[in-house]
Structure 1
């Protein structure tokens, strides 16, 4: 991975962490920059604005992780109800991506942003 790719990946991951804990609207670009220890120029080199970064968080972190996780359980044979139960049990108790105290990252973001931003609504 190149330095630019590593920087972009770090920005997206740290942004996800902050958004998950505090919410999208409560997380500022300045806070993301301070957390990632990149310059403001580096942030805006990778993302033209906060919205573009937020959409990248959804498409590059949230959606792939949630889809990969849920697909593994939902494609299993057998009783669908049992598979859904096992999926939720694993998601809540055995997955470091999902922290019970913060809720579901994707649902939180959808609830917070879908009424305010059509791009978020479509992406999520």
Structure 2
């Protein structure tokens, strides 16, 4: 039991350090040696848990990136309340709440999509799975809004869902180019205008 706990702790340490390095320096720029240095593990101890960088990448996507998106962007869409208000809260307030560190480095998922999303089918599948979960939850909320009469019935749930996700991810990438939030404020102004158009 003690050995199992130690093994779980070691794996978590590797994933946490790898996630931070991927986020700050990029997936391709981060070597296994750099991850090993951050964890202070021996080569033997390290390779006992992960045989390749691809294995680590997939674990980072499923254990860190997906968890962040589910907790920050998907579960809030499933709360009770006015559907339109929930969309506003999730997509507008969430951007305002990001720390300076998060604004500097963008979205971990979006960074990985742009860097490795077209290099390996396994990465594509893992990252697409997160987007599909997010899109489905948003489509369901928009449909609920139509039923509750807070969102216009003629609105295409699929179109609005993918637009909102794309816009949100896009501005997080663009924000990395600036040293202040003016570009986010301009984006939020435009997004607010768009959301008003789907509101009843």
Q: What TM-score results when the alignment is normalised by the length of structure 2?
A: 0.56
Matches within 5 A, 1:5-24: 5-24=8-27
1: distance between equivalents of 2:24 and 2:119? 20
1:74-85 equivalences in 2 (<5 Å): 74-76=77-79, 77-80=81-84, 82-85=85-88
SS state at 2:41 partner: coil
Aligned-pair Cα RMSD in Å: 1.9
Q: Who wins on radius of gyration, i.e. which is larger?
A: 2
Q: Which residue of 2 aligns with 1:67?
A: 70
Give yes or no for the alignment of 1:53 onto 2:56. Answer: yes
Aligned to 1:119: 122
The structure with higher relative contact order (CA 8 Å, sep 6+) is: 1
**Greater helix fraction, Structure 1 or Structure 2:** 2
For 1:88 and 1:36, how far apart are their aligned partners in 2?
A: 35
Which runs of 5 or more structure 1 residues have no equivalent in the other structure? none
- Shift of residue 44, structure 1, vs aligned partner: 1.1
Aligned length: 122
Pairwise CA distance, 1:68: 2.0
